[in-house]
């Protein structure tokens, strides 16, 4: 599958919508894998989850309700479809084009799943993934200048619903803010750790909607928003609206250790084990080695990129 990519738009706006990023021949396997890992998470048999009440790592067990499933490629989940898609030609083609790197420079990072909570609506505050909310304009500018060696994505998966026009409209972002510090009105609404009552009250904000696309009389799944994760963004989760959205990121080795804290804070020791490496194809093994090299190149406890509300 070859996807047309408007890199100039991505560089300017900080995000881009890519249709049909899941190849048709792999979609059913991914959808079924999503159903199984969601069931394991909701039942408590899979402990690695994003907990309602905790917006950022570290997550805990303080609430039984979940808004995300962590570590989809973990061998204990035994769902090879996730690693197969992560290393697919479709996704690799997009990443190398947007990062302007060679395939052998790609770095494996995160593969998670965003889901709807069952008992509580939940929201994330306005944030950049690796810049604290109290950063000065000068600190923001310096951090943003370094953040050019990775891509993050949300890929919509149709999860066990009867209606084909199911949409995912949880993500809000402010175009171009991956390049510039916040304006004073934007700072006023993002300096707090509380999520917004209405994300569209934020100056410049847009709501991103992922949906099925009708192509040649067939609905094609896998519409994806790829974005610079230091763009100013937030999320709002409706407990009554089913969601299964693949959420991951990928880097390139030219960034050195700039992405280390933001990636390693999720607890990736399991990715250094042979039982994970042995399950990967050759492309995946090369990407994994890049991650391990980055991990081995940093010293001490890096801490966490952001803090949770207490």
The rounded distance, in Å, linking the Cα atoms of 99 and 10 is 10
When pLDDT is cut at 50, 70 and 90, the band that residue 166 belongs to is low
Whether the per-residue pLDDT at 4 is higher than 80: the answer is no
Secondary element (H or E) of residue 37: helix 24-43
Any domain includes 263: yes
Residue 165 has pLDDT above 50, yes or no: no
Quick one: CA torsion of 283, 285, 290, 291, rounded to 10 degrees?
A: 120
pLDDT bracket for residue 109 (50, 70, 90): very high
Is residue 232 in some structural domain?
A: yes
- Residue 304 belongs to some domain of the structure: no
Is residue 59 domain-resident?
Answer: yes
In-domain check, residue 289: yes
Q: Flag whether 307 is in a domain.
A: no
Q: Write down the pLDDT at residue 310.
A: 62
- 2 inside domain: no
pLDDT bucket at 158, cuts 50 / 70 / 90: low
Element of type H or E holding 249: strand 244-252
CATH number of the domain encompassing residue 174 = 2.60.120.620
Q: What pLDDT digit, counting tens, does each position of 274-291 carry?
A: 999 999 999 999 999 999
**pTM for the full predicted model:** 0.94
Q: What is the pLDDT of residue 216?
A: 46
| Domain region containing 166 | 7-296
Angstrom distance (rounded) from CA 243 to CA 5? 26
Q: What does the pLDDT average to over 237-261? A: 95
The helix or strand, by DSSP H or E, that contains position 237, with its residue range, turns out to be strand 233-237
Give the pLDDT confidence of 287-309 residue by residue, as tens digits.
Answer: 999 999 999 999 889 999 999 97
Indicate whether 301 belongs to any domain. no
User: Can you give the pLDDT at residue 161?
Assistant: 41
Query: What average pLDDT score do residues 194-206 get?
Result: 97
How many domains are contained in the chain? Answer: 1
């Amino acid at each position: 599958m070859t996807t047309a990519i408007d890199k100039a738009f991505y560089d300017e706006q900080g995000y881009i919508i890519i249709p049909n990023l899941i190849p048709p021949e792999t979609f059913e396997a991914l959808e079924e894998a999503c159903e199984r890992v969601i069931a394991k998470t909701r039942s408590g048999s899979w402990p690695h989850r994003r907990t309602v009440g905790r917006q950022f790592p570290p997550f805990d067990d303080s609430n039984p309700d979940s808004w995300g499933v962590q570590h989809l490629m973990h061998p204990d989940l035994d769902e090879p479809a996730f690693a197969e898609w992560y290393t697919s030609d479709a996704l690799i083609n997009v990443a190398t084009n947007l990062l302007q790197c060679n395939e052998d420079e790609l770095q494996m990072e995160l593969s998670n799943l965003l889901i709807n909570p069952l008992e509580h609506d939940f929201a994330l505050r306005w944030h950049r993934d690796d810049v604290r909310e109290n950063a000065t304009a000068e600190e923001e500018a310096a951090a943003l200048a370094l953040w050019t060696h990775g891509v993050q994505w949300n890929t919509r998966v149709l999860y066990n619903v009867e209606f084909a026009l199911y949409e995912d409209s949880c993500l809000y972002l402010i175009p171009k803010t991956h390049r510039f510090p916040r304006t004073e009105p934007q700072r006023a609404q993002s300096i707090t750790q509380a999520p917004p009552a209405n994300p569209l009250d934020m100056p410049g904000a847009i709501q991103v909607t992922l949906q099925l696309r009708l192509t040649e009389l067939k609905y094609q799944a896998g519409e994806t928003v790829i974005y610079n994760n230091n763009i100013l963004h937030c999320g709002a989760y409706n407990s009554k609206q089913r969601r299964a959205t693949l959420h991951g990121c990928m880097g390139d080795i030219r960034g050195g250790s700039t992405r280390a804290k933001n990636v390693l804070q999720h607890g990736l020791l399991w990715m250094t084990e042979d039982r994970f490496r042995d399950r990967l194809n050759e492309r995946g093994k090369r990407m994994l080695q890049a991650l391990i090299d980055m991990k081995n190149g940093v010293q001490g406890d890096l801490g966490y990129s952001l803090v949770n509300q207490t």
